[in-house]
Chain A
Amino acid sequence: EVQLVESGGGLVTPGGSLRLSCAASGFTFSSYSMNWVRQAPGKGLEWVSSISSRSRDIDYADSVKGRFTISRDNAKNSLYLEMSSLGVDDTAVYYCARDRLRWQLWGQGTLVTVSS
Chain B
Amino acid sequence: DIQMTQSPSSLSASVGDRVTITCRASQGISTSLSWYQQKPGQAPKLLLYGASTLESGVPSRFSGSGSGTDFTLTITSLQPEDFATYYCQQFYLTPYTFGQGTKLEIK
Contacts and interface: CB of A to CB of B under 8 A. Distances in A.
Given A95-B43, A103-B34, A104-B46, A44 B95 contact: no
Interface of B: 1, 32, 34, 36, 38, 43-46, 49-50, 55-56, 87, 89, 91, 94-101
B26 to A, nearest CB: 16
A62 to B, nearest CB: 7
B79 to A, nearest CB: 21
Interface of A: 35, 44-47, 50, 59, 61-62, 95, 100-104, 106-109
Contacts of A44: 87, 98-101
B98 A46 contact: yes
Nearest to B85: A44
29 contacts: A35-B96, A44-B98, A44-B99, A45-B36, A45-B44, A45-B89, A45-B101, A47-B89, A47-B95, A47-B96, A47-B98, A50-B94, A101-B34, A101-B50, A101-B91, A102-B34, A102-B46, A102-B49, A102-B55, A103-B34, A103-B44, A103-B46, A103-B89, A104-B46, A104-B49, A106-B43, A107-B43, A108-B43, A109-B43
A45 B87 contact: yes
A73 B56 CA distance: 29
B53 to A, nearest CB: 9
Contacts of B96: 35, 47, 50
